[in-house]
Amino acid sequence: MAIKYEFIKQCKQSGARLGRVHTPHGIIETPTFMPVGTQATVKTMSPEELKALDAQIILSNTYHLFLRPGHEIVKKAGGLHTFMNWDRPILTDSGGFQVFSLSERRKITEEGVEFRSHLNGEKLFISPEKAMEIQNALGPDIMMAFDECPPYPATYEYVKQSTERTSRWAERCLAAHQRKHDQGLFAIVQGGMFEDLRVQSAKDLTSMDFPGYAIGGLSVGEPKHLMYEVLDYTVPHLPFDKPRYLMGVGSPDALVEGSIRGIDMFDCVLPTRIARNGTTMTSQGRLVIRNAKFAEDFGPLDPNCDCYTCKNYSRAYIRHLLKADETFGIRLTTYHNLHFLTRLMKNVREAIMNDCLLDYRDQFFAQYGLLDN
Ligand SMILES: COC(=O)c1ccc(CCNc2nc3cc4nc(N)[nH]c(=O)c4cc3[nH]2)cc1
């Protein structure tokens, strides 16, 4: 068993739990946030900086690396860890989401998905077996089954057909899984916003005994309360002794609410993507540093943050760099946003240890200014 979940403690105040995910490249303390490194790099960050901000595991993408540079090249390089000089755990998404959100003119059949590359229009095809071949070549510690993430909104009938196919595709992934490099394969629960389809999907997939389970099909534009509702009736159908991974979720409030509902792993492009347009996460809420009011503000981005950016640079300086299109500016905002989320998850783990995660949520949101809107 490549991936092993070690349950440590149940929070007495909420559905959250402390755990450890044991992988060939190290142990992940959960609940955890995974920075996204789509094309084999977490944009503008070096591995050393990622370690300094306590990134325990990073994500990369099958779809993007299949298109460029090609999984065969990564394989010849010795796999993703060697290629990108990252010796901690890596998780690769299967392409199930990207092929539907990025490519053009795609055609879905039982066999797989035919699509045109978003880079050069080349006609390509990914099947469950192909997704496994690519991920086996990339060599991550955790691979994701090839699935369809239905659009939102979608009809009950569409989601039913899609979810049943995703379960058949999961079976094909399990059959094709080579278990090279001792990799673990997680299944992805679908079912849209329909309780019976979510429960059916969870039952189908847990009967196939995967080492971990993701909840997909969320963070696709639905209202947040709907996402939390889906978690409330889906998580109870997942095994207690396996990791639960909520895909594509990364705003501070959703990380706390997801942890309260028993989620162990999260990923999202949000912190790195908004950093590149100068939006930063602070304990008082979002701060758009390009705003003129910060031109002569010589304080740190966040007075309550102890990260490298906040200890050494002022809002005025960072604003200047961004306005001058100086790359160092987005490196500083990216570092800070990632540190903010890894620090938030450390606080969540401490709150679980002290059985007070709901109190932590109220205190965090009061500060973060979410409760008052
Ligand atoms: C500035 O912020 C942004 O640009 C930004 C962009 C996308 C998301 C949401 C990402 N949501 C999301 N990612 C996902 C990835 C997924 N992968 C698979 N295989 N299956 C899924 O079912 C699935 C669902 C997701 N939902 C959030 C924020």
Report CA-CA distances (Å) from 290 to 280, 304, 316, 324, 351: 10, 20, 9, 11, 34
Catalytic status, residue 267: yes
Cα 219 to ligand 1 centre (Å): 6
Nearest CA to ligand 1 atom 2: 270
Nearest CA to ligand 1 atom 14: 248
Alpha-carbon distance of 16 to 8, in angstroms, equals 11
Nearest CA to ligand 1 atom 4: 270
Alpha-carbon distance of 97 to 201, in angstroms, equals 17
Report CA-CA distances (Å) from 119 to 24, 58, 123: 33, 24, 11
Q: Residue 47, Cβ neighbours under 10 Å: how many? A: 17
Q: Is the CB of 248 under 6 A from ligand 1?
A: yes
Looking at 93, 147, 264, 302, which residue is catalytic? 93
Ligand 1 atom closest to Cα of residue 93: 19
Nearest CA to ligand 1 atom 8: 248
Cα 246 to ligand 1 centre (Å): 10
Tokens of 51: 């370690």
* Burial category of 297 from C-beta neighbours within 10 Å (exposed 0-12, middle 13-18, buried 19 and up): middle
Per-residue pLDDT of the chain (373 residues; tens, 9 = 90+): 589 999 999 999 999 999 999 999 999 999 999 999 999 999 999 999 999 999 999 999 999 999 999 999 999 999 999 999 999 999 999 998 998 888 778 999 999 999 999 999 999 999 999 999 999 999 999 999 999 999 999 999 999 999 999 999 999 999 999 877 788 999 999 999 999 999 999 999 999 989 999 999 999 999 999 999 999 999 999 999 999 999 999 899 999 999 999 999 999 999 999 999 999 999 999 999 999 999 999 999 999 999 999 999 999 999 999 999 999 999 999 999 999 999 999 999 999 999 999 999 999 999 997 644 3
Report CA-CA distances (Å) from 281 to 147, 161, 339: 32, 39, 10
Nearest to 173 by CA among 159, 188, 161: 188
Q: Is the CB of 145 under 6 A from ligand 1?
A: no
Instruction: Give the H or E element holding residue 17.
Output: strand 17-23
Looking at 87, 267, 302, 325, which residue is catalytic? 267
Cα 43 to ligand 1 centre (Å): 17
Angle, helix 224-234 to helix 252-260, in steps of 10 degrees? 20
Bridging pattern class, strands 123-126 and 32-34? unpaired
Q: Are 252 and 342 in contact (CB under 8 A)?
A: no
Alpha-carbon distance of 263 to 250, in angstroms, equals 12
What is the value of ipTM here, to two decimals? Answer: 0.97
Nearest CA to ligand 1 atom 11: 248
Tokens of 32: 């955890």
Ligand 1 atom closest to Cα of residue 273: 1
Q: Is the CB of 273 under 6 A from ligand 1?
A: yes
219, 245, 274, best to mutate for ligand 1 pocket (most atoms within 8 Å of CB): 219
Alpha-carbon distance of 153 to 194, in angstroms, equals 11
Report CA-CA distances (Å) from 121 to 61, 70, 116: 19, 16, 5
Q: Is the CB of 141 under 6 A from ligand 1?
A: no
Q: How far apart are the first and last CA of the chain?
A: 46
| pTM for this entry | 0.97
Q: Residue 35, Cβ neighbours under 10 Å: how many? A: 25
Cα 12 to ligand 1 centre (Å): 31
Ligand 1 atom closest to Cα of residue 188: 20
List the strands of the sheet with 17-23, edge to edge.
Answer: 4-10, 17-23, 26-30
Q: Is the CB of 36 under 6 A from ligand 1?
A: no
Ligand 1 atom closest to Cα of residue 250: 27
